[in-house]
Structures are given as C-alpha cells and as structure tokens.
Structure 1
Amino acid sequence: MRFFHSGFEQWLKHQEILIAAEASSSFSSQVNMHNDDKYLGKFPGQVGRHSSSTCLVQSLYYNDGFAPTLINIQIQKNKNKKTNKHKDTDSCSQYSLTRAQRVRAAMFPETLVEGEAAMPTQPDPSQQSNVQRLAEPSQLLKTAIVHLINYQDDAELATRAVPELTKLLADEDPVVVNKAAMIVNQLTRKEASRRVLVQSPTMVGAVVRAMTTAVDMETARCAASVLHSLSHQREGLLAIFKSGGIPALVRMLSSPVESVLFYAITTLHNLLLHQEGAKMAVRLADGLQRMVPLLKKSNPKFLAITTDCLQLLSYGNQESKLIILANGGPEGLVFIIRNYNYEKLLWTTSRVLKVLSVCPSNKPAIVEAGGMQALGQHLTGSSQRLIQNCLWTLRNLSDAATKQEGLDGLLQILVAQLGSDDVNMLTCATGILSNLTCNNSYNKTLVTQCGGVEALIHAVLRAGEKEDVAEPAVCALRHLTSRHQDAELAQNAVRLHYGIPAVVKLLGQPHYWPVVKATVGLIRNLALCPANQAPLREAGAIPRLVNLLLKAHQDTQRHASASQQTYQDGVRMEEIVEGCTGALHILARDPINRGEIASMQTIPLFVQLLYSYVENVKRVSAGVLCELALDKQSAELIDAEGASAPLMELLHSSNEGIATYAAAVLFRISEDKSSDYRKRVSVELTHSLFKHDPSAWEMLLGCSIFQHLNINMFI
C-alpha cells in the first residue's frame, strides 16, 4: 500500500499545518491565562505562579466537538523517587509523536512500525476526537480502493482462467472435470469473477454439460452450485436459458443428493420468476412431472420453493393443472396444508391450491383429499395472507363440496367471520356459506342453530351496495329459510332480527339482477311464515315485486320477436318473471295482501303469463290466479280477461302442479256460470285430471284448495 500512502503525503502535511496552527493559538491563550492568579486557582495542585514543577501540554483531543481540554501532566523533579520518574516518562511519551505521525496513526494504523505508539485513547470512549472524526472518511476511501483493487484482481484472474477451465470441463477424465468444476465454483463466490463467467456463453455451456454428464455426485453438485450462483443475476439467467440449462436442471430434480436438488429447484425458481420463456421451457422438459413427486420431501424450505414453482407453472395454464392432477398433486398439497406449520410453506401451498381450485377437474380431487377441512384449520391463525388464500380457495371449492361431511367446525368459523369488517373476508365467508348450505339440510340446520341467520343479516346491512357480499349473503338466507327442519325457525329469525326491511330494500333501484333474483326467492320463503306476511307488506314488498315483474316481462316481450333470451348481469329475465310471480303467489295467501295485489291491475298480466313457453312461469301464474280467485271480484276479472281458454288447455298439462292450479281457478270462476257450463267443466276435469283414477276426484273436492267453492254446483 506504499503507493497509496504516499499519495496522501501532501494532504497530510497540509492537515499538520492546520492542526499545528490551531494548537499553537490555543496554547498561547492558555499560557496567558496561566499568568493570571485567578486562573491558577482553577487547577488544584499548582503551588505558585511561577512553579516550574508543572508543565502544560496542549492536547489534540477534544471531549466534545468544540472546546479543547488541557491535560495537566505533573512532572516531578525529584529524581530520587523512581516510581514518579517512570510515571512522568510514560505520560509525556505519548505526546512525543509529531502531529503528522499522530494523524497517520489515526488514518493508517497499519503503517506503524513495531514498537511505535499508536493513537492515545479518549478518556470517554463514547466521544470521538477531531482527529478520529477526520480519519473516518479516509478509512472508508481506503477500504473502497482496496476493494476496487481486489475486484480488479479477481476479474483479471477469472478472465485469464476462463478459456483453460472451459477446456478442462470438457475433458474426458472425470477427475479433471471434477477439479475444474470445483475451481469454477470457487470463482463464482466473488462478484467480479462471477460477472466474467456470466459473459462467457461457452463457459456456461460447459458447466451445463459437465453437470449433465457427471459420473460422480460431487461434480454434479459443484456444477449445480455454479448455475445457482449465476442465476442471481439477470445476465446469468439469460446465459443459463440460452445454453440449454433448463432441461439439464430438470433432470437434476431426480438426483438423490439433497444439495443438488436444492441448487436445481432454486435455480429453476429464479428462472421461472425472472426469465422470459422459462415457464414454457420447464413445461416442455417435463418439469411438472419431476416437481410434483418432490412434494413428498420433508424439508419445509425446500417444499416452499417447490410449491411456488408449481404455482408459477400452473397459473393461467390449464394443461399444467391437469398434469399436476395426474401426478397426484392435490393429495400432496393437502397433506402439506394439514401437517406443516411453516408459514411461508403454508402460504405458497395455499397459492397453488387457489390456482387449482378454479379447475373443474382438480376441484373434486382436492375436496376428496380433505382439502376443505385442511384449509379450515388455518382460518383462525395470525397470518392474514394465509387466511385470505385459504378463504378464496375454500370459496372456489365450496360448490363442489355441498355433499361433503365433517364440515361442522368450518361452518362455525365462517359464521364467526361474518362479523369481520374486511370486505374480502365477508365476500368469501358469505360465498362459502351460500354454497355449503345449498341442498344440504344438515348444513342448513347447523348454520341456523349457531346464529347464522343473525350474522348474515348483519352482513347484508354492512354490505350496502357491495354486490359481492349482498348476493351470497341473501342466497345463504334463502337456503336457510327453506326445506330443512329449522326452516320456520330461520324464517322467524329474519323478522326478529329486523331483517325484513333490509331485505326488501334490496329490490330497489339500481337493480343488480343477481341480488334481485336471490332477494325475490328469499321473500317468497319468508312469506311462507304467516307471521311475516304483514311485515313484508308494511316494508313495501308487494309494489316492488309488481314493478320488477312488469319490467322483466316487458324485456322478455321485446326480445321474443327476435327469438332471443334476455340476459342482464347474467340473469335471464324469465327467471325474474317466475320469481316475482311465485313470491306474489305466496303473499296472496293473506287476504289483505291479496286485495293489494289485485288492486295493482296485475290480473291481465297473470292471465297473459298463462301462455308463456316457460313451464314454471305457467305454474306460478296459475298459482297466483288460484289465490286471487278466492275473492269473487277478482274471479270475475279473471274470467273477463278470457282465462278460461288457456286454463282449459293447462288441464291437460303433464305437470301436475299446473293442472291442479288450473282446475282450481276454473272451479272458482265457474261458480256463477250456468249449470250446463259447470257440468261441461266437470266432465273436462274428470277426463283430463282423473282419467286413470276417478276416485281421486272425490279426494280433490275435499282438499283445502277448493274449500271456498260450492261443491254441489258440480253434481
């Protein structure tokens, strides 16, 4: 380093002059103060104004950044006291260095010759002197220059070695190849030589070939380590990709050596993350077929990298998802989710399952492997990113798990999560509950019994205009209020928890038709409970249903001529017509509601709907007319609208519900007709409805649906 130190000689002399000037000035002022009697009093141990037993030496060290501190050095003239003599000699010797030497000692301590005193230490180690502060930038500069020199040396060494090492890596002698691979591996440890290697395509290609053809595991390990080191730079990734490194690395995934496996999977992971074209290259090299079996390994960190590779390869690629399925991927992934607790591994695995959960083929496989239960284990953990992934995956899987058993714990957790203010969590929880309660009476009863109705109502209230929450929440309520042993309990719970006004409000403008469709179905179920009839009427359900019915029917009529089905937001308008008519049918069971429905000029529309090409629309239309016909005035209006002709045709329908409702309406509108007309209707009914079982006619006459009719008029 002599050339480096000599380069600073002039600068050091300049610093010496500055420091000497400062010290001289300060020393002069101190001498003047020394001649002052008052000043002498401040230094204990001084016995006289002109005492020659004390000498004052100016220190270069400051206790703070500004005021200098004088160091009293007591030099006793009594040479008979040996100990004092040695003490005085030691004290003064540390100041015998020249100022330039002290600066050099601070900045370049390695230049001190053996036995030469180093810089004296500060009394207070927490404070730096000015010289120490002055030394810091020079030390940093010196370190940077040393690193630069070493970097240049490394680069020059690698540049000279690359051609020879490239030849050695291609040698026929395995021992030579092994030694060459070890040397190259050492070179990649330093940045300068690593950059030189990256810039040599022939070298990278030689390393790839050496790894592929290695007859011993040590050579393969060194070569894989080299590629791993190079993959941390973009230039290295490109060099590996162009040299055919991906197929070679994929083959290394079958290695029995753990370190080779780690280097191979990590390098492939870096390529998949940052190198364009790497994903396709891995797929073409059958990388997925090699990676999926690695899920049986036990190292959590290795598994985390492997699962992330699977996610990168399968995202947006259906073929990759099917390959993972064919190689037993769902079972391995579910096993990891169920049995490991390393958060990063759980998170990367949940990401793969989330991607696979949108694949129709993978869904049932994940569910059958116990994926719903395994994912449910992590919904109460502390990792929010893991919880979110598990929820979205469960939401995607839930429509394939409606018949799955053993979900009690999951359902209870989901009900509890309905109290969350997080929109994503609400969206997922309501969606999962909606699917799991669809056509599953056990799940419906369980959710109802653990407070699901109240929680869902609160979710609807908090959702506001967020359709992603409102739609599944209303669908779940619709499921809970129908066809299970506690359905009536759920119907009452909606009313008791003040849910009816909130539900009816969802029918208002603006219309998001999936929410409207779900709400109409829920209102129909709520109307099945007699106690809910009045609250529904008071909340304005009837006029809103009628307005929706008119709008949907008009849309279907406009598109009927073009023979097109009308869709809005993915919902067929015929479904809205059917739903609204069905809800009005149940609401019409209440006499007050019946009168309100008839007063809104709905009878002509219901009669017109009897001609619909949709069978379910015919059924609900005949049903609502059956209820309205209980009132004599409404029955007359039905007859006046010419309902008899279509009703006569519907008597011959293969749908028993349609035929029964049509018969009931005909009975009621025939009450004031002539006896001949009534007999003709009776004969028609007998031949159409009861030709296979005439005795059923007598049973029908006793049913409640005909209780308001004068039965004798048909005799």
Structure 2
Amino acid sequence: MRFFHSGFEQWLKHQEILIAAEASSSFSSQVNMHNDDKYLGKFPGQVGRHSSSTCLFKLTNVDSHSFFLPLSLHFPLTDLEAQYSLTRAQRVRAAMFPETLVEGEAAMPTQPDPSQQSNVQRLAEPSQLLKTAIVHLINYQDDAELATRAVPELTKLLADEDPVVVNKAAMIVNQLTRKEASRRVLVQSPTMVGAVVRAMTTAVDMETARCAASVLHSLSHQREGLLAIFKSGGIPALVRMLSSPVESVLFYAITTLHNLLLHQEGAKMAVRLADGLQRMVPLLKKSNPKFLAITTDCLQLLSYGNQESKLIILANGGPEGLVFIIRNYNYEKLLWTTSRVLKVLSVCPSNKPAIVEAGGMQALGQHLTGSSQRLIQNCLWTLRNLSDAATKQEGLDGLLQILVAQLGSDDVNMLTCATGILSNLTCNNSYNKTLVTQCGGVEALIHAVLRAGEKEDVAEPAVCALRHLTSRHQDAELAQNAVRLHYGIPAVVKLLGQPHYWPVVKATVGLIRNLALCPANQAPLREAGAIPRLVNLLLKAHQDTQRHASASQQTYQDGVRMEEIVEGCTGALHILARDPINRGEIASMQTIPLFVQLLYSYVENVKRVSAGVLCELALDKQSAELIDAEGASAPLMELLHSSNEGIATYAAAVLFRISEDKSSDYRKRVSVELTHSLFKHDPSAWEMVRPWECVGTSGDGVRRISKLIGFRISASQENFVQVQKCQLLCTTTTTVQLLVK
C-alpha cells in the first residue's frame, strides 16, 4: 500500500504541473484576445476594455468542462492562475485521496450545480472502490485472526462453573457473530457451537440464554452453521427454549428452528422427536403477527406429508388457533402462512371436521375478495378440501354468493375450486341448493361448463353442481327450466361425446335424467341427440361389465364403475321414455333385448331402472309384444317377490301390461300372482282381498288391479324406493280404497 501511494503521488504531481501549464497558456491567450478587442463580453458589441464592470470569461479545456468565471479587471492575472492551479491539484487529490487533505482545506468547485459530479470525481470512483475493498480485506483478515485466537479460550469460559463468567463469554461470542469473518471461524469450530448449545441449555439467567440463542440464530444463516447446530444437538435445546418467557429468546429459537427446517436435512424428524409440535402449537396464542408467521410456517413444514404431525396438531388444539388467526388478523404474510397450514390439514379426515366446526369455512370465505392472489388461491383450495365435510354447515350464504360470482373468472384454478366447493355444498342440502339457484348459480355454472372445454377438473364439478340444483328442493323445477332457457342443454349433451372421461359422463347422465323430469325439456333433449348418445354409452358400459363378469371383478374406468354408467343411462332413458315420441325412438334402437337382459343383473339398482324403462315402453302395444317375445315374463315374475318396493312395483306393472292381450287363464294366473306379491307383507289386507280374487280375470277386477298398480307406480316414480306400506281395504267386490300410511 505504501508503494502504491508513493508512486501514485509522483504521477499526480507530474499531472498537476502539466494541467497548470495548459490552463495558464489557455487563459493568457484568451486575455490577450480581450485586450486586442477580439474577445467579446457577455453581449454582442460590448468590448471588454470599454467596460469597467465585471465580465464573464469562458474557460475551456479545463477539466473537460466549459464554465464562466467572474473576473474583475482589477484582479491580478498571475494570482488567478496560481489559485486555479492550486484548486486543480486539490480537486484531483480530494477525489483520489480525500484523507490527504489538510483539515479545513477545500477545493474551488468547478460545477455550477454542486449536485453534479465532475469528470475527475467520476474517474476517481473505481480507485475509491478499490481502496475500500482493500480496507475491508484487511479488516476481515484482522477479524478472522482475532476470532481464531479467541475461540479456544471462549470455549473454555463458556463451560465455566461461574454463571457470571459464562454470561460474559456468551456476550463476547455474540459480538463476534456480528462480523462475517469471525462468524465463519466460529462455524468451523464444532466445540464452540457445542459449548454455546450447552450454555443456552444450562443458563441460570435469561441474559445468558438470550445471548446464546442469538449466537445460534446468527450461525443459522449459513449452511455450515446449520449443520454445526444440528450435529451438536442444538434442535432439542432450541425446542426447550420455546417455553421461555422472554420474547427475544422465543424469537431467536423459533427463527433458528425455521431456518433448520427449511435448509437442514433431518431437521424435521429431529424437531418431531424433540416434541417440537407440542411446544409450537400453544405459541399460536401469541399476538405478534411476524412471530406467528414464522411459527405457522414451521407447522406447515412439519405437517406436510406427515399424518402423525397432523394428528399432534389436532390433539393440541391447532385447528381452533389457526382459524382464530384467519378470522382476526390482516397481516398478509401471516394469513398466507396460516392458510398453507390449513390447506395441509384440510386433507386429513380427522382435522377436517375440527376445522369446519371451528368456523373455518366462514373464516376462509372472508378472504376470497382480497387483493392477495396467493392468499385467495390457498383459501379456495382449502375450502375445496373441506367442503365435503361441510354439507350440513349453516351460515354459508355469503360464501356461496362469492363462489357464484367467482364462476365468471378466467383463472382455471379458481374455476376448479369454485365449482368443486359448490358441488359439495349443494349435495344433499336443499337450503344451499335453493340459495344458489336464486342467486344465478345455474346460469353461472352453464357458462363455466362452456368455458371449461376439455378441462375435466372444471367440467365434472360444474355438472355435478347442476345435477344437485335440478333435484329435490323447492326450486328444482326452476333450475331445470333455467338450464334450457340459458341454452345449456346442447352443451350438456355434448359432454357425452368421445373421448369419454367417465366421471364427467356419470355426472352428465345424472343431470340429463333430472332435466328430463321437466316435460318442457323432453323435446330439447331429443333434438340435442341425447337418446342415441345414452344408448351408445349404455351398450359400451354393458359390454365392459360383461367382459369382466367371468373374472368376478368390478369394471373401473377413471375410477368409475361401469355398473354405475349402466344404471345411470338406463335411469335417464326411463325418464325420457315418459314422452311418447322419445318412447318410440328408444324402442326403435333395438334396446328392449338389452333392458330384458338387465333384469338378470346382480346389481339391485340396475334391476330397478331396467324394470322402470320397460314399464314405460310397455305402454305401447308393439313394445309390449316385443318385451313379451324377449321372454321377460320369467324374470319379471321373480322380481315380483323382490324386497325392493320399486322393483316389485315396476315388475307388476310390466306383467300387467303385457298380459292384457293374453288368454283368460294367463291373466288370471298373473292377477293372482300380482295380488299375492302386493300384499305378502300384510296378511290382514290379503284376507280382505281374497273375496274378489275370483273376479281377477273380469274387466272390473283388471281395472281394480290396474288402479292399484297405477298408484304404486306413480309413487315409485316420485320417490323411487321410498314408497311406504300400502293397504287395500275392500268394502264390496266393486269398491277399493287405497290408504297410504
């Protein structure tokens, strides 16, 4: 450094002489021009020698700047030249080596605006940076050497029996960790780190514990420090510090543990083994938002992918504390980290009901209209995970309205979550169904289906939600009409086309069945091509089930049982067959043999819907003959004795209709069989009906049985399996009264 300074000063003096000479020559020539009347003053026509006032002389080629210098004619030129030369030297020296200036000495400025740098000052910046770097390097080396010499002695002092000595040693080590060089030296000494950990664990005063925790906190910002803390058993010691009453110790401990969890392999397991979760969950009652943000992030890191950790959080009241934070704080980072924990816990079957019962649905819903997109996304995913456990939850009106509004978003993730939540919350909840229908949910869901295209994650829950809205609530018919009025039927039927994603197909088939319950939708469904698509799906699904029947295993595709597709398609065709035109189209597609074959299915619901569709088709004489020709009588006779009320009723109706053109002996046998099956569970009613059993073949008897069957079919169509016990009370052979209990 000394050689560098001396050489540069010689070069600087040489430059000063050259610059001063150049400036003097340039300045003298300009003054001579003034004396020869060749140099003009400030204004044209004003000659310098005729003016007794101060003139502005323009100096150029000095420090690469042009500037005006006020000059009185009475000012000696030689003094000015000397002063300028001195100023030039001072400016160069001040720029390059400001520490060499004499105190109180200042260079004459060359810039009109003091805030602007001159060229010399700009050129001097690299040399100043170099000098600063060299100084830092020297200081760094000094710090490192000092720490290296001090570490062995400080290690001994930290293990001293005198608490005062330990306290002073901890304070010194804490000071050393403030410098990067000494901190690196400490990190490389496992014995020192171990001594700090022991000092923190055995500290009898809070100040020693605070200093030791601060040391570990400083070391945890380096990978080497994290490894040293981990190897020296620092994690159990830090976990114990989480019970400290001192806020600063708590902060250092949780922050150090957070750094370990983020960057040190094996730290998560070590924290779990040290009962870290049991110590962290109670910290959720603290009020410092930044402290809570770190704590909740630790909980997320520990619980992600670890079921045992989730259960420990539940056992220590974690869901309640987390929901309280979501409901009462507005610090965005804290809300985000807390929502991440809830998102992890929301996939745990045990934590789900606890979060819902704590008011998690309502608390998360209040953040869906905020400005933080990452918070909104986390809240939506958490709500989606929780929603299947909140179908009976009350007080979700505001959430449902927000979700309907969010169906207009173009964000795929938001659409996926909003449709999924609505699908779950409207499942078996008539109040929610009515509310969503009344606030425009049907139209919004149809638009979501149209925008979803081939995105099954949006299409499936959206169609499921529409299926829920069109069934079993006071505004179900309103929803069924709304789908048609908002041009949703073609879009819904289109979902049955290939390629088949079976969860979407299953939901769509159910929706079409519900839509067909509205008579005004029968023709639009037929015109949209719903019937041939349903028949094709039915054939394909039935073939798949037959193919695997020999292996005695259920057929799954995309997680959907093909038996469910068979049941759904047959059920939808059953409702569509209520329309005479639809009935003819269904029969014309050679479906009757398949429906008769389905009567032999081992799935009870498939038997019910196949008997139901045959019941509708049998209303047409030609179809009834085809049903009889396919040998349906035998399986239908067996189904008469089914314990399922719906199956027995439909079977009776089909048998009654296909027997109308048979011989009197056949009709009598069918009449007796029907009467017996209808009253087998009520002996008293059976005894009452016996007097007119003999007239079962007469027109009057047929009408009586027809009336009875007609009533039971009507009830069965309305409630499917919920037909209650019937009694037949006969006062005369011509009077039949049916009571429903």
TM-score where L is the length of structure 1: 0.90
Supply the distance in 1 between the matched residues of 2:511 and 2:266 (Cα, whole angstroms): 51
- Taking a change above 3 Å as real, the CA distance of residues 507 and 217 of structure 1, as seen in their structure-2 partners, is same
Asked if the contact 1:678/1:713 (under 8 Å) is kept, the reply is no
Cα contact 1:356–1:362 (8 A) shared by 2: yes
Q: Which runs of 5 or more structure 1 residues have no equivalent in the other structure?
A: 56-69, 78-88
* Contact preservation (8 Å) 1:679, 1:714: no
State the Cα deviation string for residues 150-209 of structure 1 (Å, max 9, x = none): 111111111111111111111110000000100111111111111111111111111111
**Pairs aligned (count):** 684
Q: Structure 1 residues 406, 224: CA separation in 2 closer, same or farther (over 3 Å shift)?
A: same
Given that residues 588 and 624 in structure 1 are in contact (C-alpha distance below 8 angstroms), is that contact kept between their aligned partners in structure 2?
yes
Answering whether residue 4 of structure 2 is matched by residue 4 of structure 1, we say yes
Task: Tell me which moved more, 397-406 or 9-18.
Answer: 9-18
Q: For residues 639 and 282 of structure 1, do their structure 2 counterparts lie closer, same or farther at Cα, with a shift above 3 Å needed?
A: same
Please report how far the alpha carbon of residue 123 of structure 1 lies from its aligned counterpart in structure 2 after TM superposition: 2.2
Which residue of the partner structure matches residue 43 of structure 1? 43
Distance 1:75 1:509 in 2: 79
Q: 1:304-329 CA distances to partner (integer Å, 9 max, x unpaired)? A: 00000000000011111011011110
Q: Is the 8 A contact 1:106 1:119 kept in 2?
A: no
Matched residue SS, 2:687: helix
What's the % identity of the aligned pairs? 97
Check whether the contact 1:112–1:118 (CA below 8 A) recurs between aligned residues: no
- 1:600-633 per-residue CA deviation (whole Å, 9 max, x = no partner) reads 0000000000000000000000000000000000
Please report how far the alpha carbon of residue 43 of structure 1 lies from its aligned counterpart in structure 2 after TM superposition: 8.1
CA apart distance, 1:518: 0.2
User: Does residue 711 of structure 1 match 2:736?
Assistant: yes
Alignment gaps of 5+ in structure 2 = 67-77, 689-725, 730-734
Distance 1:27 1:76 in 2: 14
Which deviations, in whole Å up to 9, do the C-alpha atoms of 1:361-402 show, x marking residues without a partner?
100010011100110110111111101000000000000000
Superposed counterparts of 1:173-212, under 5 Å = 173-212=162-201
Q: Deviations over 1:110-146 (max 9, x none)?
A: 2122354445352222433222222222222222221
Post-superposition Cα deviations, 1:412-444, rounded to whole Å, max 9, x if no partner, equal 111111111111111000000000000111111
Contact 1:54 1:73 in 2 (8 A): no
* C-alpha distance 11-515 of structure 1, shift in aligned 2 (>3 A): farther
Contact 1:350-1:393 within 8 A present in 2 as well: yes
Q: 1:280-311 CA distances to partner (integer Å, 9 max, x unpaired)?
A: 11111111010000000000000000000000
Distance in 1 of aligned mates of 2:312 and 2:480: 47
Hey, what's the Cα distance between the residues in 2 that align with 1:366 and 1:575?
33
Superposition deviation, residue 106 in structure 1: 2.4
Cα-to-partner distance string for 1:1-60 (whole Å, 9 max, x where unaligned): 8666335324424543664575466457646745653324568999777999999xxxxx
TM-score (norm 2): 0.87
Deviation at 1:238, TM superposition (A): 1.0
CA 1:10–1:441 in structure 2 vs 1: closer, same or farther (change >3 Å)? same
Cα distance in 2 between the residues matched to 1:27 and 1:171: 77
Relative to structure 2, which stretch is displaced further, 114-123 or 432-441?
A: 114-123
Structure-2 residue corresponding to 1:290: 279
CA distance in 2, matches of 1:179, 1:648: 98
Q: 1:41 to 1:131 in 2, by over 3 A?
A: same
- Deviates further, 128-137 or 483-492: 128-137
Higher mean Cα deviation, 443-452 or 2-11?
2-11
> 1:562 Cα deviation (Å)?
1.1
Counterparts in 2 of 1:355 and 1:54: CA distance versus 1, 3 Å: closer
How much does 1:410 deviate? 0.7
Pick which of 115-124 and 17-26 moved more: 17-26
CA 1:482–1:102 in 2, change beyond 3 Å: closer, same or farther? closer
Q: For the structure 1 residues 683 and 234, does the alpha-carbon distance in structure 2 shift closer, same or farther, using more than 3 Å as the test?
A: same
- Aligned residues of 1:460 and 1:473 also touching (Cα < 8 A): yes
Q: Secondary structure at the match of 1:37?
A: coil
Distance in 1 separating the partners of 2:63 and 2:678: 132
Tell me how far apart the structure 1 counterparts of residues 664 and 269 of structure 2 sit (CA, whole Å): 83
Q: Relative to structure 1, is the Cα distance of residues 164 and 112 closer, same or farther in structure 2, using a 3 angstrom cutoff? A: same
CA contact (8 A) 2:35 2:48 kept: no
Once superposed, what is the RMSD of the aligned Cα atoms?
Answer: 3.8
Question: 2:226, 2:260 within 8 Å by CA — same for their partners in 1?
Answer: yes
Q: Secondary structure at the match of 1:654?
A: coil
Deviates more, 1:564-573 or 1:686-695: 686-695
CA 1:4–1:189 in structure 2 vs 1: closer, same or farther (change >3 Å)? farther
Q: Give the 3 Å change call, closer, same or farther, for CA 130–36 of structure 1 in structure 2.
A: farther
Counterpart of 2:500 in structure 1 is 511
8 Å CA contact 1:671, 1:713 repeated in 2 = no
Give 3-state SS (helix, strand or coil) of 1:96's partner: helix
Moved more, 225-234 or 141-150: 141-150
Q: Secondary structure at the match of 1:713?
A: strand
> How far apart are the structure 2 equivalents of 1:273 and 1:73?
59
Paired position in structure 1 for 2:268: 279
CA distance in 2, matches of 1:24, 1:606: 116
- Closer, same or farther: CA 714–609 of 1 in aligned 2, 3 Å: farther
In structure 2, the CA distance between the partners of 1:74 and 1:169, relative to structure 1 (3 Å rule), is closer
2-structure distance, mates of 1:474, 1:76: 77
CA distance in 1, matches of 2:241, 2:627: 81
Per the alignment, residue 84 of structure 1 pairs with none
Q: Is the 8 A contact 1:40 1:49 kept in 2?
A: no
Quick one: distance in 2 between partners of 1:500 and 1:268? Answer: 57
Structure 1 pair 713–141 and aligned structure 2 pair: CA distance change class (3 A): closer
CA contact (8 A) 1:513 1:569 kept: yes
Partner of 2:53: 53
Verify the 8 A CA contact 1:169 1:176 in the aligned structure 2: yes
Higher mean C-alpha deviation, range 101-110 or range 410-419:
101-110
Q: Which residue of structure 2 lines up, in the alignment, with residue 625 of structure 1?
A: 614
Contact 1:187–1:194 at 8 Å: present in 2 too?
A: yes
Query: Does the 8 Å CA contact 2:548/2:554 hold for their aligned counterparts?
Result: yes
CA distance in 1, matches of 2:300, 2:530: 48
Contact residue 675 and residue 713 of structure 1 kept, 8 A: no
Q: Distance in 2 between matches of 1:74 and 1:135?
A: 13
CA change 1:698–1:24 in 2 (3 A) is: farther
Aligned residue number for residue 456 of structure 1: 445
- Tell me the distance in 1 between the aligned counterparts of 2:357 and 2:135: 63
1:7 aligns to what SS in structure 2?
helix
- C-alpha change, 1:71 and 1:424, in structure 2 (3 Å) is closer
Counterparts in 2 of 1:598 and 1:35: CA distance versus 1, 3 Å: same
Alpha-carbon spacing, 1:594–1:383, altered in 2? closer, same or farther (3 Å) = same
Alpha-carbon offset, residue 403 of structure 1: 0.7
Cα gap change, 1:264 to 1:671, in 2 (>3 Å): same
